[in-house]
């Protein structure tokens, strides 16, 4: 894993966004969020975010001073430590480790930025509708928008979802120039990646012993893998993060296994690699036989401003 760790260092370079505020328009603005219009009468001043990637989107746009706080669990501590926006995480209040209505009401939130399986949950009674009944606006992470088939998520390619959210947030907060600058930077960085022409098959391993949890077509890793020069073995599954079977993994015979590194929350990278090596059904899979494992941090694999760096790091590994 030494090679993997050295390449992951590419993801943690950079600096937090500390910029002068642009003039903010007072008139109502409307964007399309998860296929529906979202209108705000004024730019939010007390936004609350849930999860590290969502929070880093706000910081990348220089919107820390428009936040009442953020919610992340203790398992994301390592992600905060490696974040280019670590200083912003220190300045903006951490409100809790689990988001709920009481947390956002106590923070006097005027906007909650979260997503399905990124905070929103019917079973927890924490949904856009329940918050709307309290007079709190919500913005949903586009990568996690439901597509109308049960609880399946994903309505556009993951990078398009990233750019859509940046532009929508730019409109809602009156910082469209910053949003367009970030979109240009990310698209140029990704365009500069030069795969070597091979297309290794890649399995994203998130977690799961009885059944693996992985990334399908609409999750961030699908395009991270593709733009780096690989092919996600589950790119034919019309969902975001989802559960599959070990039999399907074996049948699709990945050449590389990309491990989602939670920083210890659900086992270390070493623990996950050890499990994969010891799984009887995986012994003859090319990735295991040839010791082709690579790890990227959770914050780089979910939708967020570290995605471009993740593509560059994984492409460098695949070329090597």
What are the start-end ranges of the H helices in the chain?
2-8, 52-60, 77-81, 86-91, 101-106, 128-132, 158-173, 176-191, 220-228, 246-252, 269-278, 286-289, 298-301, 307-319
pLDDT in tens, 172-215: 999 999 999 999 999 999 999 988 889 999 999 999 999 999 99
| CB contact burial 137-150 (16+ within 10 A = b; e otherwise) | bbbbbbbbbbbeee
Q: How many CB atoms lie within 10 A of CB 266?
A: 16
pLDDT in tens, 60-99: 999 999 999 999 998 898 999 999 999 999 999 999 999 9
List the domain boundaries for the chain: 14-189, 201-319
pTM of the predicted model as reported, rounded to 2 decimal places: 0.89
The burial of 100, by beta-carbon neighbours within 10 Å (0-12 exposed, 13-18 middle, 19 or more buried), is given as middle
Architecture of domain 201-319: 3-Layer(aba) Sandwich (3.40)
Greater confidence (61 vs 21) lies with 61
Residue 19 pLDDT > 60, yes or no?
Answer: no
Q: Do domains 14-189 and 201-319 have the same CATH topology?
A: yes
Enter the CATH code of domain 14-189: 3.40.50.1980
The pLDDT value given to residue 26? 65
């Amino acid at each position: 894993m030494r090679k993997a760790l050295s390449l992951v260092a590419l993801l943690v370079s950079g600096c937090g966004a500390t910029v002068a505020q642009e003039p903010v328009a007072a008139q109502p603005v409307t964007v399309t969020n998860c296929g529906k219009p979202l209108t705000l009468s004024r730019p939010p001043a007390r936004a609350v975010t849930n999860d590290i990637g969502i929070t880093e989107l706000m910081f990348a746009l220089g919107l820390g001073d428009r936040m009442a706080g953020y919610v992340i669990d203790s398992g994301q501590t390592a992600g905060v430590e490696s974040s280019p926006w670590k200083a912003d995480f220190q300045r903006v209040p951490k409100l809790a480790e689990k988001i709920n209505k009481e947390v956002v009401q106590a923070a006097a939130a005027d906007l909650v930025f979260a997503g399905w399986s990124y905070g929103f949950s019917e079973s927890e009674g924490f949904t856009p509708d329940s918050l709307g009944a309290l007079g709190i606006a919500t913005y949903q992470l586009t990568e996690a928008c439901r597509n109308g088939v049960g609880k399946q998520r994903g309505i556009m390619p993951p990078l398009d979802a990233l750019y859509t959210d940046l532009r929508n947030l730019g409109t809602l907060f009156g910082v469209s120039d910053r949003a367009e600058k970030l979109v240009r930077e990310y698209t140029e960085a990704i365009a500069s990646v030069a795969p070597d022409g091979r297309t290794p098959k890649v399995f994203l391993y998130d977690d799961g012993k009885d059944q693996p949890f992985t990334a399908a077509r609409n999750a961030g890793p699908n395009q991270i893998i593709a733009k780096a020069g690989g092919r996600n073995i589950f790119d034919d599954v019309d969902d975001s993060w989802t559960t599959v079977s070990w039999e399907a993994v074996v049948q699709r015979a990945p050449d590389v296994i990309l491990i989602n590194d939670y920083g210890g929350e659900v086992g270390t990278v070493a623990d996950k690699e050890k499990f994969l090596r010891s799984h009887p059904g995986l012994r003859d899979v090319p990735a295991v036989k040839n010791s082709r494992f690579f790890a990227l941090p959770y914050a780089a694999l979910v939708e967020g401003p570290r995605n471009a760096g993740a593509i560059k790091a994984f492409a460098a590994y695949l070329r090597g």
